[in-house]
Amino acid sequence: MKTVIIATKNKGKAKEFESLFHSRGFQVQTLLDFEDALDVEETGTTFEENAILKAEAISKMLGKFVIGDDSGLIVDALDGRPGVYSARYAGEAKSDSANTEKVLQELKDVPEEKRTARFYCALALASPNQETITVSGSVEGRITNEPKGTNGFGYDPVFYVGEKGKTMAELKSNEKNEISHRANALHALEEKLDAFLEREATQL
């Protein structure tokens, strides 16, 4: 089976990429499989910049083509926060529950119709042999008043998906993988992936 490397240390993302790529005939490796993988500093001001930083650093380190994912939650009533700071919104400990609590706290006086939000995912595909490609995907929703559901990760328990009538964390993993920002970004990447892999093959 063909292998694709994802420059992430996030277990939730890793699981989603495994299932998203498996159905496309790829096996997935992440930084959880490489003990001495470096920690890439996410100094960019956009999701795209950070996805490129992760993909290019790990691609350089391993000498192979690598996908980086930078993603997060954009809340309209919070002027787009937590945005690129989603992972460490409540501090460097990167706690999913502390992050969600902070968002709920900041929105406590905001009425339902103004609690609109979206998940955004930028993917970068980098290789030592060619130019980096970026794509993105998003999914619209609304922030609930309290966490609901135990599937998924991150802000999933407070992200209500109108078309499903459930939070992301109440959806089964295959249901999330049909509609998520990550799935949408991967669809966009798919259109460019074959050509990218062909260029790889001719240059190796």
Ligand X SMILES: O=P(O)(O)OP(=O)(O)OP(=O)(O)OC[C@H]1O[C@@H](n2cnc3c(O)ncnc32)[C@H](O)[C@@H]1O
For 84, the 3-state DSSP assignment is helix
* Residue from 70, 76, 96, 194 carrying the catalytic annotation: 70
Q: Residue 54's closest CA among 132, 2, 120?
A: 132
Q: In angstroms, what is the minimal distance from the CB of 64 to Mg ion?
A: 20
Task: Provide, for the chain, the percentages of residues in helix, strand and coil under a 3-state DSSP scheme, each rounded to the nearest 5.
Answer: 45, 25, 30
Enter the tokens of residue 97: 């529950």
156 binds ligand X (CB under 6 A): yes
Chain residue whose CB lies nearest ligand X: 154
Whole-number Å distance between alpha carbons of 99 and 88: 7
13 binds ligand X (CB under 6 A): yes
In the annotation, is 36 catalytic? no
| CA 78 to chain CA mean position, Å | 20
Tell me which residues in 68-87 interact with Mg ion (CB under 5 A). Answer: 87
157 binds ligand X (CB under 6 A): no
Q: Which residue has the tokens 């790529």?
A: 21
141 binds ligand X (CB under 6 A): no
Whole-number Å distance between alpha carbons of 99 and 76: 17
Tell me which residues in 86-115 interact with Mg ion (CB under 5 A). Answer: 87
Tell me the CB-side half-sphere exposure of residue 199, using CA atoms within 13 A.
15
Nearer to Mg ion, 87 or 189 (CB): 87
Site for ligand X, rule CB under 6 A: 8-10, 13, 42, 69-73, 86-87, 96, 99, 119, 152-156, 168, 180, 182
**Residue set of the binding site for substrate:** 8-13, 71, 153-156, 176, 181-182
Instruction: Supply the residues annotated as catalytic.
Output: 70
